[in-house]
Amino acid sequence: MKKFFVLKIGAKDALTSFRKKGHLYANTLSYFSKLENDPDRSDSFETKDMFHDPKGWRITYPSSKTNSIVTLDDSNIETMATGTLRYDLLNVYCMYAISLDDFPVIPPIDKRVLGFGGHCVLVLNLATFIDRIKRSCQEHNIACRYGVVKYFCTKTYRGNRTPFQKPDNFAYQSEYRFVFAPSPPKNPFELFIGDISDITTQVSSSADLLNITFAQEEH
């Protein structure tokens, strides 16, 4: 099983509430799919659940301009993504994942993540953090899944897509996410798991993340 540190980057007030109250604020996937003027968060594929192979498809239409029939074969057609409503109302809480399996060569944190906010909280015990989220979800009868996001090329990927897959232009976000399915649906969905200051630490500023290092003590 892979080992991770996860961290949350955001505004000071939001992260204070995150540490002191265990406050998780989760928007729906449809919210992110429709978000405009925010390239770091907006992803039109968030609600898509299938990528279709255009092989064998053909498009034919009459052209009044040339007075002829135009035919486009599959070489002119890009991968088509479709979606049902099953992902629209799922809520997602996004964090940054640092894989300890990459040690000692841990990839540097991309400075673009600083766009999420000027402050950062590092979760030191992911297992305990997950347990507290699961316990709170069970108490409120809320379905929850969690894990690292895997990234794919939208031009070549074919098949089903899950909420734990995103286009590879977002790979710099190294995302670890929690997906919730509250009943009835809520937008946004908010979960309070209690004080987590015992398993987290406040990084003085998100900019300091760019210089964070990890070392393993020798015994």
CA 86 to chain CA centroid, nearest Å: 17
Q: Output the DSSP codes for 20-70.
A: HH-EEEEEEHHHHHH--S-TTT--TTTT--EEE--TT--EEEEETTTTEEE
User: What is the token pair recorded at 149?
Assistant: 């996001």
Would you kindly state where each structural domain of the chain is located, as residue ranges?
Answer: 4-47+84-177+185-211, 50-82
Task: Encode pLDDT of 109-144 as tens digits.
Answer: 888 998 898 899 999 999 999 999 999 999 999 999
Question: What phi and psi, each to the nearest 5 degrees, are found at residue 176?
Answer: -120, 125
Contact 146, 131 (CB under 8 A): no
| Residue segments in the chain with a per-residue pLDDT below the cut of 50 | none
In order of 17, 58, 69, 70, 85, the CA distances from 66 in angstroms are: 64, 20, 8, 9, 41
Q: What is the pTM of this model?
A: 0.81
pLDDT of residue 150: 94
pLDDT at 211: 76
User: What number of helices (H) and strands (E) belong to the chain?
Assistant: 3, 15
| CA gap 100, 134 in Å, rounded | 23
Nearest to 44 by CA among 167, 179, 155: 167
**Model pLDDT, residue 102:** 65
